[in-house]
Structure 1
């Protein structure tokens, strides 16, 4: 067990009814202040693992711990968990249900029994954090896909969680929408929110995360994101490709253009900046 973990799975396993085990013996700790990319091929169990972490599913074996204590799945235990850990699912239409953005974002805080002034303050903060203040009175069915994504995240942020869990948050977004969402996540991290993101996009993980957790048929591997994504055997087992940035850095090092310990470009934009700096005025 990890004493520094906000939330933690210990020896966790899960199987859906009449099916084989999806996860078995999973140990996964989410420490304060880190950004973590959960990686794995489709069907590897990423979404199941996120639902176990957030209490949406109950471990068939093992335990879920919050601040070092086993989570109880009664009303009080789940309320305590969900004021600390919030999950945003992949499809925002599975999460949004109220008539307007403001009503939807206010739902969670209202269910906590907070005073009306506190609810209004939380809604205001969440809308500002997601840069959608102008959408407060907009009907949810009139939002674009990217706006619905941010509205769904705002509903989770309004609960002021210590850990925000996102299932494939950039899926379905165009490049501009992805950049806007990543900027939002950067602001949330700067304000002290720990973010866990499930994705199969290794380039995004390398660029964004501090740490990675990689699901393979043999179990879960965790560690610094650059270290894990440099492990070709691990990537092969997880059916993930090598990150673009690592491939480019490898070519540059082979040609003597980049030092062995120098960080390589992670995006095409960073490659352009590197090339301009090297070539000089």
Structure 2
């Protein structure tokens, strides 16, 4: 009996043979193939300087590959106004530091900036802002000046600004950095709700334990190339993680130690 082959989710955004080098700097990524499948949560991991942020900026249009192609729904992205508008309506990047992203006087003004730039009617802009504020649980901060927000509130406001664009893919660069454990859990809950409503979420992180707990898939950047697979299997690859400058997830490391000392049998966890 032949078992059916599981369907592979189509890629929403995809980089093919992507290459990027900063001006007067070394090549950061070269010949990279990287696809973001629809409906999945994907954690991107790697050591500092491995190219995580560069890859995220290439996927969202903040950088243009020096070679290779970026595709949205299978169609090449043109780096003119029309093409970039299409890309940014599909993929939204939230930077690691919210202060690099927030600039308006109030939360509502900041969240409305993107939809207004799309030329939407006022009623549609208000609906998107209301939806984003509710999704990020910051409706009560609507009129708050952005400079009076806490760090966690600024993080959620920055994400709300991206969510208001109603992207198919939300890309976050180290979104839990600087948050206390309660703030991290609150943010993960928000991301879970966004994913349940159809948003694909990509998160760059150094936290292997967080990636294992949260993500369906993981991508580990090592020597300029991403290795992609289901999170439990990939993040249990000791050799790969060592090459990428990462540690085994805490639970995996403890399990291995208990087995090595005969306190846990094979198949037990």
Q: CA RMSD in A?
A: 1.4
Contact 2:255–2:264 (8 Å) recurs in 1: no
Contact 1:41–1:200 (8 Å) recurs in 2: yes
| Aligned partner of 2:26 among 9, 20, 24 | 20
Off by >6 Å, runs of 4+ in structure 1: none
How many residue pairs get aligned? The number is: 261
Contact 2:29–2:224 (8 Å) recurs in 1: no
Instruction: Give yes or no for the alignment of 1:247 onto 2:253.
Output: yes
The runs of 5 or more residues in structure 2 that have no matched partner are 1-7
3-state DSSP class of the match of 1:12? strand
* Structure 1 partner of 2:122: 116
* Structure 2 partner of 1:90: 96
Alignment of 1:162-201 (within 5 A): 162-201=168-207
Deviation digits for residues 150-198 of structure 1 (CA, Å, limit 9, x no counterpart): 0000000000000000000000111111111111111111111000000
3-state DSSP class of the match of 2:13? strand
Q: Shift in Å at residue 219 of structure 1?
A: 1.8
Alignment of 1:92-241 (within 5 A): 92-217=98-223, 219-241=225-247
* Structure 1 partner of 2:49: 43
Task: Tell me, in whole angstroms, the C-alpha distance in 1 between the residues paired with 2:38 and 2:84.
Answer: 20
TM-score, structure 2 as length reference:
0.94
TM-score, structure 1 as length reference:
0.90
Task: Tell me, in whole angstroms, the C-alpha distance in 2 between the residues paired with 1:24 and 1:3.
Answer: 25
Contact 2:212–2:232 (8 Å) recurs in 1: yes
The runs of 5 or more residues in structure 1 that have no matched partner are 265-281
Q: Shift in Å at residue 85 of structure 1?
A: 0.4
* Structure 2 partner of 1:5: 11
3-state DSSP class of the match of 1:83? helix
3-state DSSP class of the match of 1:78? helix
Q: Shift in Å at residue 251 of structure 1?
A: 3.8
